[in-house]
Amino acid sequence: MRGQRPTTLCAVFEECQKGHQNTTKLLAALKNIHATHPDPAQFQAEFIHYLKHALVVFRREPAVERTLEFVAKFAGSFAVEVGSGSDEEKENAGGNRKFHMDLFDFLLKSHNANSQAVRFRACQLINKMLNALGEDAEVDDDLYDRIFECMLMRLRDKIPAIRVQAVLALTRLQDPSDQTCAVITAYQYLLGCDPNPDVRRAILSCIAPSTHTLSGVLQRIRDVNQSVRVMAFKVLAEKFHIRALTIAQRLQVLQQGLNDRAEAVREVCGTKLLQSWLRLFEGNILDLLGCLDVETTCGTDDEVTTGQPTGEETIEAAVMWMFKQTPTDELIANFDLLGESHVIPLESLTCESALYWRCLCQYVKSLGTEGEEYQDRLLPTLTALCDYVQSHLETLPSVEGGLDMTSAVDDHLRKEFVAQQLVMILGIPDLTDEVGRKRLRSLIHDMLLSDNMTRPLLKLLIVRYCSVQTDQEARIRDLVEVIADIREPITVLETSLSQEQMRQKELKLASIRVQLNEAREEMDRLVAAQEFQKAAEMKGRVDELELSKSDLTEEMQPQTQEVRTEKNDPLTLLRCLTIAAEMLQTLTLKGLSPTLRTLVDSLMLTGIQSADPAVRNMAVRCLGLTAVLCKDTAVQYLPLFLQASQVDLDAIQVTALRIVFDLLLIFGLKAFGAENSEQQNQGEGEEETEEPQQATPNNTANSLLSILTGMLDSENTDIRTNAAEGLAKLMMSGRVLSWKLLSRLMLLWYNPTTEDDTHLRHCLGTFFPMFAFSGRCAQECVEEAFLPTLQTLLDAPDTSPLATVDVGNVGSLLTTLTSRANMRQFCVERTGKPDLPREMEDYSAHDNLAMKLCNEVLKDTYSPDVRMFCKILGTMEPTASSTTHLRDLYVLSQQIIQELDDRMSLKYMDQFQKTLCELCPGLTGDGQKNTSQTGQVQGTTENQEEPEGNKEQTQDKEGTGCEGGSTQATEKPQETTVLTAVENVDELEDNVFATPAPPTNKKTQKGKSTAAKKKPATKTPGKTPARRGKKKADWESDSDADAEASVSESPAPTTRARSTRKAATRTRVNLKDLLSDSGSDAPQDDSQAVPKRSSRRTLRSLDNTS
């Protein structure tokens, strides 16, 4: 009856499963039943009896969840502090504590049951009971050790949902202050090695924050699973202070989060992480920018080769995210650094304020017409802004004088960074003002001639000048004049007379003065005598003497002369070449003007001959940019670029190599003497003959590609990466089409030596599907490279890194690249239509590959590689275009089945035959003779154990009942009670709650029982059964690979150690062995004795924030 308190355990368990129930009243009723029960042992047994009904249900039924929650609260209500209360209360507490301990004892005994439901629910209930103990709760050392040992075993459970609950159950047993905490050690191991994302996400949610665990959390921001990455950023936002991370780590977190491919990850990084960091500084963005060290981070990089955003782009993106979270009016109102003239005073201009000002102006400009009003409040007129920028640029020290003290260097870097931000602000105002535009052009011209302009500033000034001067010819003329003024500045020479010459001049001047005085006196006398004709003649004499005196006086003064002096020092050449390179990058001309040709001869070739590496590198870059504009120049200087790419310094080799690939991509191989660029022999030191019908490439193109291909073996990472990227571009553009080159790139991608080269892996990983699905020629190229690539890996010696490559994985990739279904999906993603190109309608690479693989298997059916070839055949997708071809494949498959005795190979071939029969049902009649044998093969394979990889996938699907966002079955859970659904729990107790027996060697027993049934194999000369057994054992050992799979942080090929190699063996890491030094079984050494612990241990607080 409603409103009545239940009086029996059965009624309580029935009521607790219903929703909208007053749990407090039920707890009080159950406590009353427990207190009034005459026999506590009987109550315990009856309580566990009803609890078992919930433990045998694996699905996340709401009734079961409410039952376990109620049981955890009831058990937690018995947890009282030792030594509190009266003697009677202590006595009652002792009995209640016994019930609590007995319940833990039952669950810990059930954690290793046969049923996955019991193991799952036992771990879940232990987790709930520990959480119900409250803050600062204590447990006995024995119970602590038992929970740790049992949950540690469940961390290795095959069901992911059970591992999740075990992770959650160990949460409160962590000790972040202990560097050797066994729980944290287990968490960190599973965080990098557990293949299930739910387990990794659960560990992130409950791992304790400390400097010891920070590295593991940072690694998960690059996890392959999106939900794990989201959880990692949430943990960083909620548990770790920004000062716990280094500056490099802060930038790494922002770069990975704000540029992640998933929108959810970018959102959580921008809204949660950035906002949490901003709250730590009370909303002051300038203080947050100070923690990111903007003056060092935002330095303009010379060359960006990784494809990753620079530090400046990352910080700018972070600031823009914070701007989006705040209204524009509030942003403008809070920016109180501007003075009355709408500029920041120079004395209060810092790196952070300059960057913030520039980003705010760009954000306002991005708003369009809505931001015009705000822009007027942030910036002055263009003329006033140019004066303001010039006043700051004049404070920069000259780069020619050098900087000696560290403080001077730091001050120069800060001023240079501020100058960069101000120059970028010059590009924000509108250039319609003619007066302002002229002032900006004059400012840029003066700054380019200034001695205190560094290379980053020169690049920014050239960009600003391009926006002012849009005419390319006029721009070339103006900038070449600037280069000429820098390299040949006007100097004033002063010449003076010697002392002897000066003495002669003075004597002559004194004589002229005497004569001049005499002439003036004589003229005055003649005027007084009124002899005007003679006075006029004397007047002429006086004028002549005055002129002679003036000329002689000028000759005695030092003489000055303006001359142009050419400067060839490295600093001047580097400035000129930098301006020329930035100018050439903005040009879209076709051909070279006379001005540019003169610049090549006078500046670039001179720079290439310089002994300074920086000057030589910039000169090579300038000459390459010039060659891009003119085909004749490219042909003329290509040998120079090839020579520089082989014999110069590494940085110059990379620059020259990029130029070579750019020229080949723009002009093609025909421009450099190639008669046929579609089929090139890559060389590799071998002399091979092309097919008769193909045009033979000449020696120039052949040697050129041989040089470029040889760079794939370079020890320098940058050279190897750029060579691979360039060759991939040549193949993608159709300039080169070679299966040998494709095979080389495939082997380079799988080579373990390139594992750390993420840019190379990412580049080639993107290239392969794009190239393979580009057309029929590419499909034929992949088809030709299929078997040679696999054969190269199979024949690799033990000392080669390729010996550890998983050949099956390579075969699976090549099969995927030649699949018509995948190509159709690629067409859908690219064009939105599932139609294949017309050239692909009557072509299928799998038809030809299936025939080649069948012949390869029949060459030697006792080869250790037969199983791999059969597995690839089982995944082939032949087409029904030719019945004759399908019939030939069926006959070959029948021959293979007759000669094979390996069960897995027979299973794969049976799958291949089924595919053929589905395409052409008439094939079954042709193979009627072999029907019985095929049926026998099917019967044999049906009893074959399922591969462990499939088991793991099945377990992942079944084990989705873990907490933290795990998905459940789509069926709607029925609101039925557990007591009604599972009535025969006692009958199932022996099978469900029983502990499994120790494992036995099933393979040995199975081998003994079936040894007599095996058909004796016919020996072939040179092929022994021992070799087949060795390869078979290798494939069987690979079935455990998924259990030990580690989590990859970036898309890259997998590698494995194959047992056919003499010294290569698989090493399995045991979590229990890993933790033996830090667990409860640690060796007892008197020299490192641990102080004796108290009889009770304090659980970690539920609030696990830092």
- DSSP character at residue 977: -
Own/partner long-range contacts of 852-857 (Cβ < 8 Å, ≥24 apart): 852/786, 852/787, 853/787, 854/889, 854/892, 854/893, 854/896, 855/892, 856/787, 857/896
Distance, in Å, from the CA atom of 312 to the CA atom of 355, rounded to the nearest integer, reads: 10
Report the C-alpha gap between 849 and 872 in whole angstroms. 10
pLDDT for res 794: 92
More confident residue, 226 or 677: 226
For 613-633, the pLDDT digits (tens) are: 999 999 999 999 999 999 999
3-state secondary structure of 1020: strand
- State the Cα angle at 1084 between 1080 and 1088, rounded to 5°: 110
* Cα dihedral value 364, 368, 372, 373, nearest 10: -80
Residue 863 burial by Cβ neighbours in a 10 Å radius (0-12, 13-18, 19+): middle
Burial (CB count within 10 angstroms: exposed 0-12, middle 13-18, buried 19+), residue 337: middle
Residue 32 confidence class, pLDDT cut points 50, 70, 90: confident
Alpha-carbon distance 402 to 619, whole Å? 23
DSSP 8-class letter at 1059: T
pLDDT of res. 250: 92
pLDDT (0 to 100) of residue 992: 62
- The pLDDT of residue 96 is 64
pLDDT above 70 (res 963): no
Confidence band for 21, pLDDT divided at 50, 70 and 90: low
Flag whether pLDDT at 611 surpasses 50.
Answer: yes
The answer, yes or no, to whether residue 961 has pLDDT greater than 60, is no
Residue 944: is its pLDDT beyond 60? no
Weakest mean pLDDT among 408-422, 836-850, 951-965? 951-965
432-461 mean pLDDT: 89
Give 40's pLDDT tier (boundaries 50, 70, 90): confident
Q: What is the largest CA-CA distance in the chain?
A: 164
Q: Distance from CA of residue 502 to its chain's centroid?
A: 78
Least confident of 450-459, 597-606, 723-732: 450-459
Tens of pLDDT along 153-165? 999 899 999 999 9
C-alpha distances in Å from residue 993, one per residue of 116, 120, 767: 10, 12, 54
Query: Of the given ranges (69-83, 548-562, 917-931), which has the lowest mean pLDDT?
Result: 917-931
Predicted local distance difference test score (pLDDT) of residue 374? 86
Mean per-residue pLDDT, 30-48:
85
Describe the crossing of helices 631-647 and 650-667 by its angle, rounded to 10 degrees. Answer: 150
Contact 1017, 1011 (CB under 8 A): no
Summarised one tens digit per residue, pLDDT across range 508-564 is 888 888 888 888 888 888 888 888 888 888 888 888 888 888 888 887 777 666 667
Q: What are phi and psi of 589, to 5 degrees?
A: -75, 160
What's residue 363's pLDDT?
A: 92
H or E segment to which residue 933 belongs? helix 931-942
Instruction: Give helix 820-831 / helix 758-772 axis angle, nearest 10°.
Output: 100
Please state which of the ranges 299-303, 377-381, 741-745, 959-963 shows the lowest mean pLDDT.
959-963
Both tokens assigned to 194: 């557990």
Looking at the chain, how many residues does it have? 1106
By the 8 A CB rule, do 358 and 413 touch?
Answer: no
Is the pLDDT confidence value at 304 over 60?
no
What was the pLDDT predicted at 1097? 65
Q: What are the structure tokens assigned to 496, written together?
A: 């003076």
What local confidence, expressed as pLDDT, does residue 490 receive?
Answer: 73
Weakest-pLDDT range from 698-702, 942-946, 1033-1037:
1033-1037
| Residue whose pair of structure tokens reads 């030990």 in the numeric block | 1044
Question: What is the pLDDT averaged over residues 737-754?
Answer: 93
Which secondary-structure segment (H or E) carries 139?
A: strand 138-140
What tokens appear for 844 in the block? 């299928």
Determine the residue type at 223: D
pLDDT at 1004 over 60: no
The residues that bridge with 493 in the sheet, in sequence order, are 561
Q: What distance in Å separates the CA atoms of residue 646 and residue 633, rounded to the nearest whole number?
A: 20
Amino acid 425: pLDDT = 92
Q: b/e per residue, 629-660, with b = 16+ CB within 10 A? A: bbbebbeebbebbbebbeebeebbbbbbbbbb
Rounded mean pLDDT, 190-206? 92
Cβ of 746: how many Cβ atoms within 10 Å?
25
Q: Whole-angstrom Cα distance, residue 161 to residue 122?
A: 12
Nearest Cα to 223, choosing from 908, 1068, 1093, 1050?
A: 1050
Q: Are strands 559-564 and 490-495 parallel, antiparallel or unpaired?
A: antiparallel
Residue 336, CA atoms < 13 Å, CB-side half-sphere: 4
Task: Tell me the HSE value of 963 on the side-chain side, using a 13 A CA sphere.
Answer: 18
Amino acid symbol at 221: I
- The token duo for 597 is 């040709």
Q: If residue 444 lies in a helix (H) or strand (E), which one and from where to where?
A: helix 434-449
* Cα 232 to Cα 1040: distance, rounded to the nearest angstrom: 29
pLDDT of residue 546: 87
Three-state DSSP class for residue 617 = helix
Predicted confidence band at 1092 (pLDDT cuts at 50, 70, 90)?
very low
Cα angle for residues 323, 328, 334 (degrees, 5° grid): 85
Tell whether the torsion through CA atoms of 463, 464, 469 and 474 is positive or negative.
negative
CA distance 727 to 709: 8
pLDDT at res. 209 = 92
| pLDDT for position 768 | 94
Give the phi and the psi of residue 864 in degrees, each rounded to 5. -70, -10
Q: pLDDT value at position 678?
A: 42
Q: What is the DSSP letter of 1098?
A: E
Based on its alpha-carbon atoms, the radius of gyration of the chain, rounded to whole angstroms, reads 42
Q: Is the pLDDT of residue 1091 over 70?
A: no
pLDDT of residue 79: 63
| Mean pLDDT of the chain, nearest integer | 78
Write the CB contacts of 514 (distance below 8 Å, at least 6 apart in sequence).
Answer: none
What's residue 814's pLDDT? 93
* pLDDT for the residue numbered 219: 93
**Secondary structure class of 494 (helix, strand, coil):** strand
Structure tokens at 365: 């400009």
User: Could you give the CA distance from residue 1015 to residue 898 in angstroms, rounded to a whole number?
Assistant: 12
Q: Which residues contact 108 (CB under 8 A, 6 or more apart)?
A: 122, 126, 146, 147, 150
Q: Is there a contact between 1042 and 948 (Cβ–Cβ < 8 Å)?
A: yes
The residue written with tokens 């540019």 in the block is 596
Q: Is the pLDDT score of 421 beyond 50? A: yes
Helix (H) or strand (E) holding 563: strand 559-564
687 CB-side CA count, 13 A: 1
